[in-house]
Amino acid sequence: MDTTQSFTSHAPARHTQALLGPAAVLDQPALCADGLPRCPWALSSSVILEDHDTRWGRTPVRSSGWFEALALEVFQAGLAPGTALGRHGALREAFREFSPHDAALLDDDDVDELLLDPRMIRNRAKLVAVIGVARVTQAWDTEDWEELCTPGAGEHLTQDRDAMARSLAVRLRGLGVAHVGPGIGQHFLARTGVLPAHVPGCHHE
């Protein structure tokens, strides 16, 4: 199921507020034990912290990185924060190191096998959707992904993040990609650095 929450939903609100105080603090960086300021939601688990420090908000340099980013957000939608990140290794293995060309070769028998793997997020609709993304994008390079995420004629970079996410979802549906609504689109745009991904003052900003 898709979600329309903002990218800060990667952190459980009640847990983060318990750590950091009032909700308004969620817009401020948290000073960590290593002396570095980070987005407060990054502190909610070790896998989210690692993702924040190594992948979140960084523009992929290869097509496989763009595909990986969208796949992670498809699988994460509707689940507890960090669920897809916790299964990252299994997802990487299942989707052939996130090579769109190789993942596009997966078929119904492969899906049936993956649904039996306890390491996976065993959701047939999500598995089929990510394979569909691979088939659509298997010949893409980074420029194609960037073009997908760039506002087209009549659109403007100044539009709000919700509008950009809706536009992306429409474009993907036009390409035949299912299961990617505005919520997933917004997380994907933030994960890949198209939209601001960190709170002001975070050392990764």
d(CA 50, CA 38): 12
Torsion of Cα atoms, 93 then 118 then 104 then 57, to 10°:
-60
Report which residue type is found at 21. Answer: G
Q: What is the CA radius of gyration of the chain?
A: 17
How far is residue 137's CA from residue 185's CA, in Å, rounded to a whole number?
Answer: 16
Q: Find out whether 52 is annotated in a ligand binding site.
A: yes
To the question of whether residue 149 is assigned a binding role by annotation, the answer is no
As beta bridge partners, residue 30 has 38
Annotated binding-site members: 39, 52
Annotated binding-site members for Zn(2+): 39, 52
